[in-house]
Amino acid sequence: MEYTYEWSDFVGNIGVVILVGTFALLQFGKIDAKGFWYSFNNMIVAILLGINLYFKPNLSSIIIEVFWFGLSMYGLWRWYKCRH
Is 46:83 a contact under the CB 8 Å cutoff? no
Residue 9 lies inside a defined structural domain of this protein = no
48 inside domain: yes
pLDDT at 70: 97
Q: What is the pLDDT of residue 1?
A: 84
* Residue 67 falls inside a structural domain: yes
69, amino acid identity: F
**pLDDT value at 22 more than 90:** yes
**Cα separation, 54 vs 68, whole angstroms:** 15
Instruction: Name the CA dihedral angle for 12, 18, 21, 22, rounded to a multiple of 10 degrees.
Output: -130
Q: Is 68 inside a domain boundary?
A: yes
| Average pLDDT of the residues of the chain | 96
Range of the domain at 38: 29-83
Residue 38 lies in a domain: yes
| Domain membership flag for residue 51 | yes
Prediction pTM value: 0.92
The mean per-residue pLDDT over the stretch 67-75 comes to: 97
Q: Is 13 a domain residue? A: no
34 pLDDT above the threshold of 90 = yes
Total count of domains within the chain: 1
Is residue 12 in a domain?
no
Cα angle vertex 15, ends 10, 18, to 5°? 130
Distance CA 17, CA 31 (A): 16
